[in-house]
Chain A
């Protein structure tokens, strides 16, 4: 069965520091991968997605993610975090069952 693991439940960084959020998936074929962000009291917003091709994908708000098949990973990165990036981040995989399977999320806290 497909699954998504986000090993870090909670991450705290200082504003201006770099950020990497980890995501590992379990799926037999090449998955379709997504990162979503959920700000407090808001719905989910898509940051970026990977379907095929270049394994480094650029998203909105200065985020990028790299698909590494050998490590079954799709980690999210940002070179310099802003206070407004504080939110919950979800990695998700879409399998051929036409469903999104979400990871447990990583809560990002940003200190000034």
Chain B
């Protein structure tokens, strides 16, 4: 298993500013993911962040808006840039303990609740 912590747990930000969300895992993992959960909605994958390679972004998400760092096997950051009220969501970090999503459980962090005014 893996225990994941996220910082901050919540924040209220002004439009036009940026927020960096941190994700810390208690063990080394290869696969790390960032999701967005808009109010009352399901989870949407933003990007996959594997250590040693550039993050892979899903359709509709771009690096300029959501830059991601993955400096080592236990840590990642997601930045929400130039925020607008439409960015108000819960952002979740998750990890897969193996090398395949299909075969391995994903563990989720508690999420970061972002409100943009």
Contact = CB atoms under 8 A, between A and B. Distances in A.
A45 B102 contact: no
Interface string B45-87: 1001000000000100000000000000000000000000000
A108 B43 CA distance: 17
Contacts, number: 51
Nearest to A91: B42
Nearest to B6: A43
A51 B43 contact: no
A99 B102 CA distance: 8
Interface string A35-46: 010000111111
A32 B92 contact: no
A100 B45 contact: yes
A102 B111 contact: no
Contact of B4 (A43, A46, A90, A105): A43
B56 to A, nearest CB: 10
Nearest to A107: B40
Contact of B106 (A51, A96, A100, A105): A100
Given A43-B111, A100-B45, A94 B105 contact: no
4 shortest interchain CB distances as A-B pairs: A43-B108, A44-B108, A98-B101, A94-B102
